[in-house]
Amino acid sequence: MDSPFGLLAELTYRCPLACAYCSNPLNMAGYGDELSTDEWRRVLAEAGDLGVLQCHLSGGEPLLRRDLVEIVADAHGLGLYTNLVTSALGLSRPRAEQLRAAGLDHVQISIQADEPSVSDRIAGTPSFRRKTEAMGVVKELGWPLTMNVVLHRYNIDRVAEVLGLAEEVGADRVELANTQYYGWAWRNRDALLPSRAQLEAAETVVRAARERLRDRMDIIYVLPDYYSRYPKPCMGGWASRQLTVTPNGDVLPCPAAHSLPLPRASVREHSLEWIWAESPVMTAFRGTDWMPEPCRSCSRRELDFGGCRCQAFLLTGDAARTDPVCHLSPDHDLVVRAVEAANADPRTDASALVPRSHRARRPGAGRGGRQGH
């Protein structure tokens, strides 16, 4: 594609939760100087000029931005379809009504499990009740509701109950997304990765629910990369369909690309048009010319585009390597060993998890990415 159709606007990395699977960057100190309202207004206008149609307002927790209603109104005025990606902590009825009046089109609310104590423990703070109450407000105000659940070893056995909760709150769409291992999730990978038996049981439940609810609810089930034979395409191909703007104005081809050793491009220094078309961070892995073997001669090279560059870097130290998830990758054994360890680990409690820290870490202290609330 010549231009992106989706913008992920990460308004802030501040968040009231402490989820151990979060893919926000470990280097929180590097994102404290957040874009102002006027800067976001300019970014949205440039995105519209570039061809963007969808604007996903995320974080961290976007509701922590006091100017969120203004940002939504600006996006709506530009004709962008707006989606709020939120933990729902702070989505009071008055705030929701303001966002509805500003033109917000869709709300996606995360929840960590179907059972209050389990959900609160995974989130690191009491939140289940407020989340379900907010879902009720969303439905009362007539918004489409997506319920997002990040799956891992400690909640995947309750997929049936999670889907039951989705029915109860009237969700129009459910995203069951197995953890992507970036940021805090990368730090907790060995404790979060589910077993093959857990995955097979969950897939059976999901297939049955899709059939039963096919006329009432869309159910999206995202397999964990580590159990796939081939890698997923990176956002449909590196810098081909979407872009991410971080809280401090850095522009990335995907939410996890903070970790890569690539030159930064900022909306404070360049236009979105120039960044999309010419910046090194966008052109580094666009298309197929950069590919090594076995990707270069593979018949799937324009289907999965070599897989995830961030995953390749975290596993091998080289972002240009074939994604080790692929069974053809010379580094596939790295994934095989991680899967073997997960299947040998009998733990079913979350005591080994390191929760997301709310303290800022100094620059260079870690690698990061992005994942739901």
Helix (H, G, I), strand (E, B) or coil at 113: coil
φ, ψ at 300 (rounded to 5°): -95, 5
Rg (CA), the chain: 20
How does 120-132 read in b/e, with b if 16+ C-beta sit within 10 Å? bbbbbbebbebbb
CB 31 within 8 A of CB 248: yes
The answer on whether 22 is annotated among ligand-binding residues is yes
Is 19 within any annotated ligand binding site? yes
Name residue 96's amino acid: A
DSSP 290-331: T--TTTTT-TTHHHHTTS-HHHHHHHHS-TTSPPTTSTTSTT
Q: Which residues pair with 101 in a beta bridge?
A: none
Beta bridge partners of 176: 149, 221
15 labelled binding-site residue: yes
Cα separation, 368 vs 259, in Å, equals 5
Nearest C-alpha neighbor of 120 from the set 258, 271, 223, 17: 17
Task: Output the CA–CA distances (angstroms, integers) from residue 255 to 44, 103, 188, 236, in the order listed.
Answer: 18, 25, 19, 13
- Indicate the annotated binding residues: 15, 19, 22
- Indicate the annotated binding residues for [4Fe-4S] cluster: 15, 19, 22
